[in-house]
Amino acid sequence: MKPSFFLKTFLPVFAAIILVVGIAYAVWTEPTAAPPGNNVEAPINTGATAQTKAGAMYSNDRVGAPNLCIGTDCRSVWPAEGTPSYGCVCYTYVGPWAPGFATYINCGGGYWLITSYFAAAGTWARGPVYFPCSP
């Protein structure tokens, strides 16, 4: 007796489906705890709970916060030019010889270039580069 068309085509496809489902079921394991415990890290969210992120964080727009903290120094406003609390004097200088700007700090003993951008050369520089003259 000849096997029918149904047995030749449907049976191998059905057997393959059963095999794939069985393998998928066998390798599935439930998570050991509800997220985020013993699982992936919780996403950064807008809640009031403090959060820590292990890697770098980038934004295509501004990031706002009521305070900026570096170490234990937390500030709600950025200090203006002049003499800050640590005794150094900061200057911002826009040179007439080339479009751009430079920011210097003087803590006694000369000026240190903190950052500068000179449009004529299209370059940024960042200190500590000793700059012997006053802007």
Domain boundaries, the chain: 78-135
Residues 68, 63, 54, 52, CA torsion sign: positive
Compute CA distances 14 → 21, 22, 25, 26, 44, whole Å.
Answer: 11, 12, 17, 18, 45
pLDDT in tens, the chain (135 residues): 577 777 788 888 899 999 999 998 888 878 777 766 776 666 777 777 777 777 777 766 666 667 767 777 777 776 555 444 445 555 555 555 555 666 656 565 555 555 665 555 544 444 444 444 343
Output the pTM of the full model.
Answer: 0.25
